[in-house]
């Protein structure tokens, strides 16, 4: 299959077990049409979803000092169908798929659900063939490029502020909770960020950590960052 070699070149990984890649590229509609028993990519998609989740979760955990809720939202935006379809488009994955005639005729190669599922199956195939680090090397360039394209919503303001302040070792940064109100299911927090004894930012949010992030953002704005 010359197509296999072209795809391997695109993704920067050569499979030892070529069948894994072929299965990852095979949609159930193709398997249902051929007479012989043919494996298709739904099982690989299941595994790929889990592998993708751990790779992205691990990366975000170490990269961004954000509260759990914000990390969850960020991960969800990176592993959703729309994003995975964009990743698939970047390597032209749709053109390599094995589809049934019906799917072929109705635009299956460009259907987001099919392409995003195949991308997850491809991740699983790489994982099974080469291990988690090979899968990580494949996935992370897509993730980091997406984060850079949409950098503003994902900025970790507390870390950015800390890095700036650390340039002057004598300066001390602290966060002070000045108000907490509302019932347990709808809390409201107000936090000040102090540079030594001076208030340089105030933030609000439904969690203390979110309020701290907002306070740091205001402080960075004050500094022109």
Q: Is the pTM of this model over 0.85?
A: no
pLDDT tens track for 118-156: 999 999 999 999 999 999 999 999 998 888 776 545 567
User: For a pLDDT cut of 90, what percent of the chain falls above it?
Assistant: 66
Phi first, then psi, for residue 22 (nearest 5°) are -60, -40
What span, in angstroms and rounded, lies between the C-alpha atoms of 222 and 199?
11
Helix (H) / strand (E) element for 187: namely none
pLDDT tens track for 74-119: 999 999 999 999 999 999 999 999 999 999 999 999 999 999 999 9
One of 42, 49, 81, 156 is an active-site residue; which one?
49
120 catalytic per annotation: yes
49 catalytic per annotation: yes
What span, in angstroms and rounded, lies between the C-alpha atoms of 145 and 156?
17
**What burial class does residue 38 get, using C-beta atoms within 10 Å of its C-beta: 0-12 exposed, 13-18 middle, 19+ buried?**
middle
One of 70, 117, 120, 129 is an active-site residue; which one?
120
């Amino acid at each position: 299959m010359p197509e296999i070699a072209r795809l391997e070149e695109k993704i920067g990984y050569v499979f030892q077990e070529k069948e894994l890649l072929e299965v990852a590229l095979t949609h159930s509609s193709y398997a249902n049409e051929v007479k012989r028993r043919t494996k298709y990519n739904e099982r690989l998609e299941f595994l790929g979803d889990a592998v993708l989740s751990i790779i992205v979760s691990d990366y975000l955990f170490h990269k961004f000092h954000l509260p759990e809720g914000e990390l969850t939202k960020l991960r969800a935006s990176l592993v959703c169908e729309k994003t995975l379809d964009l990743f698939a488009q970047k390597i032209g994955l749709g053109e390599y798929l094995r589809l049934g005639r019906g799917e072929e005729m109705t635009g299956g190669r460009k259907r987001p659900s099919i392409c995003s599922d195949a991308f997850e199956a491809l991740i699983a195939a790489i994982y099974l063939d080469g291990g988690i680090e090979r899968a990580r090397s494949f996935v992370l360039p897509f993730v980091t490029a997406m984060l850079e394209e949409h950098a503003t919503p994902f900025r970790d303001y507390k870390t950015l502020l800390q890095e700036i302040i650390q340039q002057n070792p004598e300066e001390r940064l602290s966060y002070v909770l000045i108000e907490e109100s509302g019932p347990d299911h709808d809390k409201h927090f107000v936090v000040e960020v102090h540079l030594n004894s001076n208030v340089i930012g105030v933030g609000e949010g439904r969690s203390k950590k979110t309020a701290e992030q907002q306070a740091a953002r205001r402080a960075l704005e004050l500094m022109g960052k």
